[in-house]
Amino acid sequence: MTYIAKPKFAHPSLQPNAVGYTRRDYEGRVSTLCAGCGHDSISAAIVQACFELDLEPHRLAKLSGIGCSSKTPDYFLGASHGFNTVHGRMPSVLTGANLANRSLVYLGVSGDGDSASIGLGQFAHSIRRGVNMTYIVENNGVYGLTKGQFSATSDKGSKSKKGVVNHDSAIDMVSLALQLGATFVARSFSGDKAQLVPLIKAALRHKGAAFIDTISPCIAFNNHAGSTKSFDWVREHNEAVNRLDVMIGRSPITADYAAGDTVRVEQHDGTVLTLRKLAADYDPTDRIRAMGFLQERQAAGEVVTGLLYVDPEAEDLHDALGTTRTPLNELNTADLTPGSAALSGINASLR
Amino acid sequence: MEPTNIESPDYFHKVVDCQWACPAHTPVPEYIRMIAQGRFADAYMVNWKSNVFPGILGRTCDRPCEPACRRGRVEEEPVAICRLKRVAADNKGELNGRMPKPAEAWNGKTVACVGAGPASLTVARDLAPLGYRVVVIDRDAKGGGMIRSQIPRFRLPEEVIDEEVGYITAMGPELVLNREVTSLKGLLAEPYDAIFVGTGAPRGRDLDVPGRAEAAANIHIGIDWLSSVSFGHIEKIGRRVIVLGGGNTAMDCCRTSRRLGGEDVKVIVRSGFDEMKASPWEKEDAMHEGIPILNFLVPKSFTHEAGKLTGVWFEKVGWQTGEDGRRSLKPTGEPDQHFECDDVLVAIGQENSFPWIEREVLDFDKWGMPVVGETTFQSSNPKVFFGGDAAFGPKNIIWAVAQGHEAAVSIDLYCRGQDVGLRPPPGVTLASQKMGIHEWSYDNDISLDERKKVPLLETTLALSSVKAEVELGFDMALAYAETQRCLNCDVQTVFSAPACIECDACVDICPTDCITFTANADEPDLRASLKAPALNLTQDLYVSTALPTGRVMVKDEDVCLHCGLCAERCPTGAWDMQKFLLNTTQAGGCR
């Protein structure tokens, strides 16, 4: 951590994006996390993704719970809306905010404690309802704020910094999300921004519940030999199924790949996801086979990363509820209180 | 690329842009920090050791350090290095015995220095404390050379010259004044073990156009005229004055004229404004005093009546590109222009002049310059050394000082019978500045302040006397604020590849996107593929050895703020902030 703020001076080549902001404009306050924390890299990836997407900062809301990961929204997008909620309750607050104002882009940031322990139920229900959001779990497999106890995502058999072996089974958030019906599921690694940034971009453009499990080594308590969330372990066992390029609007696809090496997926809003295959025969639009593949590779000790599943035709909670296109917070009194004639009509329809 | 060899003294020296650009390699950030701490005498001595004349240079230096300053690449203006030097000189107070003492015993060797300008005085200063008997001979009545004769008093008060020349004479060299050396042969016959020639470039170039002879009474050679003003022989000039020439001497001439009765003073220059040789700030200072600068006018003839100058005819020229693609100034065909005036000052350049050196004593080249070793400053006569403007033509004080140091090293080696070609390496230290987890022994918080302006004497007061110093110098508050603009480029980012775990923390925190972890490649490819393109080819890339993932760390030194955040965010101490201090070795320092 550092006491001084990041100096305002920037590289002379720094350019503004289409909405007039430079990448530095998407930064937040200086991080108070431990030096080298993976979470800071994820914050930098979010900054980069929002800059590249030409997102106007005031059109995004960032929500989080409690924990090291949930502190991070203070360290990026300083000009966006933010809500630091109760422990494990981010998904509910996000759902409510999304229902009230569907015009914002919602980014939920949580950790393995916040989402896999105290907030597991909240996590599950927000996913299965298909809330239109990007849900990032900064997964370090340890309770860092309380000095290094195993968390619910610590792998069985992995060792704590003290040398204790974990005897509990791990919750695999990616498998859970697939099972619960998330329409965009990915896993990445804080130490690989080339993979992480396009995934965040695609997720932010995805309509529906987009979930990214990001392994983020805890430098202070979970970066030792015997840990399965350390830089070394993840780098040695990382098996990326694909590499993602995100094309927005009508920008031509310039990357030249041999036929059969890519999968092209067009999302609702026209975002084109070009996936360069790294694992042969991996189809990111087949949920059932994705689940099987994950189980198989996990059993072999691999950490599978990349865009694991995407449903380009996904619908969200607003579609399911048939809510009005106008954000609820913009409805006026006449729309909200249509009068006794309308009430009579409703009553009559229920007789 | 090959991993960077940070063991080479040049690598980190180049990162300290100001020190690298300074001919004398003064450790600039080191003394700026001392000024910030109020250690003015210490800051003065750091300067004095390196550049001999901090008070004089703090007012008059051509400041090669400032265009090089990294701050100028991060925001608009460089740090006001030169004027901070003056702050150290003005506020140093008692030096309390910091100056070297005269040698206790004569070492048996005697050295003559011809001319008492900055180069000769530097040689005297370096050699006298080592036990040499140094005899400095000058034709003028006081020591200082061009510092005293050519720089007007309103830029450089006489007390400052007396003080800094005095520090040198107090160390024992003998000053022989009012003696013009007329024969080097004769001097060589005297019992000197070595002779140093520091006679400068004492001859102002004349302008031979029609009317020059007839109107001679009102046409003056700039440097001679300035010298006469300095020694009190001239106290007045006509009401309307034209200064010909676009260099710093021209600026001194026009500003001096304004103080000696010149009301309508113009500078008329052959070239365009941007191509003028004068430093930008000297042009600004002249214009600030109501002196217009007219460009693209070539003097054709002087007009006169009854032996009295009445004006000058000029031909209008402009840039034209010839068939060979080279730009040159050509007449535009517009009608000639006539400007009326009472006096003309010719400041169109100056030349070396060695009528007193017999050609059989040492070799001269086809341009009439002595053949001098580029690093040794030794002439073809091994006993005779050159330095300052006398060696390689007109430059400025700081070059004369730097060359004086090198010549003194050579003279010392020569007098001890050693090879003058074996130059002593500089003294270099590199020391960690870490004091705590996020605590450094330097102030790493970056000030966003813009360059501070030096307060000036009110113009009517300034123009009322040729001796009233125009620049008042920074006060304490301005000086402190200006010191904080220094980026401490001498505190280096030192990277240890074995300690790095490639967590990206440094990449994420770096405000200027200097750091990239990437696959190694050739320099052009690397420069193009970094997080921010490394387009400034004068600035090096710092490349590590291979890391566990096979990548390398590449840091573009160009706009690094030396804020130390990479080191603060590094969990393993792979980055450290280490102060690089380089002192060039001076005579006697290498024994």
What are A96-129's pLDDT values in tens digits?
999 999 999 999 999 999 999 999 999 999 999 9
**Higher-confidence residue: A278 or A122?**
A122
User: Residue A49: which domain range?
Assistant: 23-321
**Over the stretch A200-209, which tens digit does the pLDDT of each residue have?**
999 999 999 9
pLDDT at A209 (0 to 100): 97
Domain annotation covers residue A160: yes
Interface probe, candidates B503, B516, B568, B570, chain A, greatest A C-beta count within 10 A: B503
User: Is residue A251's pLDDT more than 80?
Assistant: no
User: Is residue A252's pLDDT more than 70?
Assistant: no
Alpha-helical regions (H) of B268-372: 280-288
pLDDT at B178 (0 to 100): 95
Find how far residue A42's CA is from the centre of its chain.
10
Beta-strand pair A105-111/A133-139: parallel
Q: For A235-265, b where at least 16 C-beta lie within 10 A, e where not — what string?
A: beebebbbbbbbbbeeeeeeeeeeeeebbeb
- Strands of the B427-432 sheet, one edge to the other: B427-432, B575-583, B491-495
Q: Which one-letter amino acid corresponds to residue A250?
A: R
Q: Which residues does chain B have with pLDDT short of 50?
A: none
**Are A9 and B448 in contact (CB < 8 Å)?**
yes
CA atoms of B202 and B476, how far apart (whole Å): 39
Domain annotation covers residue A150: yes
**Over the stretch B247-300, which tens digit does the pLDDT of each residue have?**
999 999 999 999 999 999 999 999 999 999 999 999 999 999 999 999 999 999
Domain annotation covers residue A248: yes
CATH number at residue A259: 3.40.50.970
pLDDT at A260 (0 to 100): 58
Chain A CB contacts of B570 below 8 Å = 35-36
CA atoms of B219 and B244, how far apart (whole Å): 10
**Are B532 and A36 in contact (CB < 8 Å)?**
no
User: Is residue A164's pLDDT more than 90?
Assistant: yes
Domain annotation covers residue A83: yes
**Are A44 and B503 in contact (CB < 8 Å)?**
no
Helix (H, G, I), strand (E, B), or coil: what is residue B74? helix
Structure tokens at B185: 């042969």
Among A66-80, A165-179, A295-309, B547-561, name the one with the lowest average pLDDT: A295-309
pLDDT at B304 (0 to 100): 95
pLDDT at B36 (0 to 100): 97
Structure tokens at A32: 């108070």
Q: Nearest CA to CA, how far is B561 from chain A (Å)? A: 8
Domain annotation covers residue A7: no
Q: What is the DSSP string of B386-402?
A: E-THHHHSS--HHHHHH
Q: Nearest CA to CA, how far is B498 from chain A (Å)? A: 14
Domain annotation covers residue A350: no
Q: Nearest CA to CA, how far is A325 from chain B (Å)? A: 39
**Are B503 and A191 in contact (CB < 8 Å)?**
yes
Beta-strand pair A242-247/A238-240: unpaired
Q: Nearest CA to CA, how far is A195 from chain B (Å)? A: 14
User: Is residue A227's pLDDT more than 90?
Assistant: yes
**Are B504 and A43 in contact (CB < 8 Å)?**
no
CA atoms of B547 and B551, how far apart (whole Å): 6
pLDDT at B324 (0 to 100): 86
pLDDT at A257 (0 to 100): 53
pLDDT at A2 (0 to 100): 62
Beta-strand pair B337-340/B174-176: unpaired
Q: Which one-letter amino acid corresponds to residue A78?
A: G
Average pLDDT, chain A: 92
The count of domains in chain A is 1
Chain A CB contacts of B445 below 8 Å = 4, 7
**Are B505 and A41 in contact (CB < 8 Å)?**
yes
What is the ipTM for the molecules in this complex?
A: 0.91
pTM: 0.91
* Interface contacts (A, B; CB < 8 Å): 93
Domain annotation covers residue A17: no
Domain annotation covers residue A346: no
pLDDT at A208 (0 to 100): 95
